[in-house]
Amino acid sequence: MVYLLAIASAVFYGAADFAGGLTTRRAGTIPVVFLSQASGMVLLALILPFLPGAPTRMDLVWGAAAGITGGIGVALLYRALAIGVMAVVAPTTAVCAVTIPVLVSILLGERPVPLVAAGILLGIWSIVLVSRQDTGPLSQREHRLSGRRLPAGVGLALISGIAIGFFFLSLAQTRSEAGMWPILAARLISTTLFGVLVVTRKESLRMPKSVLALVVLSGTVDMLANALYLEAARQGSLSVVVTLSSLYPASTVLLARLMLGERLNGWQVTGVGCALAAILLIVSGGQ
């Protein structure tokens, strides 16, 4: 059941990123992120009274920490995507996001069995592969000429991935008895952060109704992904859950293929295959 929750969270994380990517083509990044975060927060606030949960102060503190780190991570990620190449930025962030919790969990004494450890390593590699794009001779030559400089946006992506990794870690520290309250605390903080950005940058929140509907859908799906991840992290091994949840680039790539007709290159096909193999290894090793 834990594996299904984690895999489902990856599917929904990828879907939310796909929907968010579509909306940013027609509206500003900051307004899109703010409205998607706010819509998810409102939805959770409406249904939370009907869900079980009795959070302590520390549960809410960890939730707030997740909101700060997650908000910073998302803001830096979108900035990196704006100035860099998505095929470079996305895997950098995803690999950092999964590596941080895995390393921390191992340092704290978690010891995955060999099959699960192999699945984790293969899952991390699949994230890199599934986000790669073929490059032409010109871009390869430019890359060689760049010397030791990092490609545009990669520095921000590294920091973003670390922040998102600590977002995963923070949510995992909350108790099962807290229910979904830590996520509400996290979303309240992140919405406030983006709201401040909207005001200080004097961003307009006006956008076509069709775009607004997609923004709300993105926020709703992202909230569902967070809830699934939180429940999985509370029930299972953090290193395994984070690895499975971080396979979301495969979901984004497949949706782009189905909805937009984007073709998968050899790297991405291999990456999807590696992701499936990683899931089989982790599930087999956990039995």
Burial category of 91 from C-beta neighbours within 10 Å (exposed 0-12, middle 13-18, buried 19 and up)? buried
Confirm if 229 and 6 have CB atoms less than 8 A apart: yes
Residues 226-257 pLDDT 10s: 999 999 998 888 878 888 888 777 777 677 77
Residues 177-193 pLDDT 10s: 999 999 999 999 999 98
Residues 147-170 pLDDT 10s: 445 556 777 878 888 898 899 899
pLDDT value at position 186?
93
Rg (the chain; Cα; Å): 18
Q: What residue type is 264 in one-letter code?
A: L
pLDDT average, residue stretch 63-78: 84
Q: How far apart are the first and last CA of the chain?
A: 12
Instruction: Give the Cα separation of 171 and 63 in Å (integer).
Output: 6
Higher pLDDT, 253 or 67: 67
Instruction: Give the Cα separation of 83 and 79 in Å (integer).
Output: 6
pLDDT value at position 262?
62
Residues 20-48 pLDDT 10s: 777 877 887 788 889 989 999 999 999 99
Instruction: Give the Cα separation of 214 and 243 in Å (integer).
Output: 28
pLDDT value at position 255?
78
Minimal CA–CA distance to 251: which of 14, 2, 3?
14
pTM: 0.81
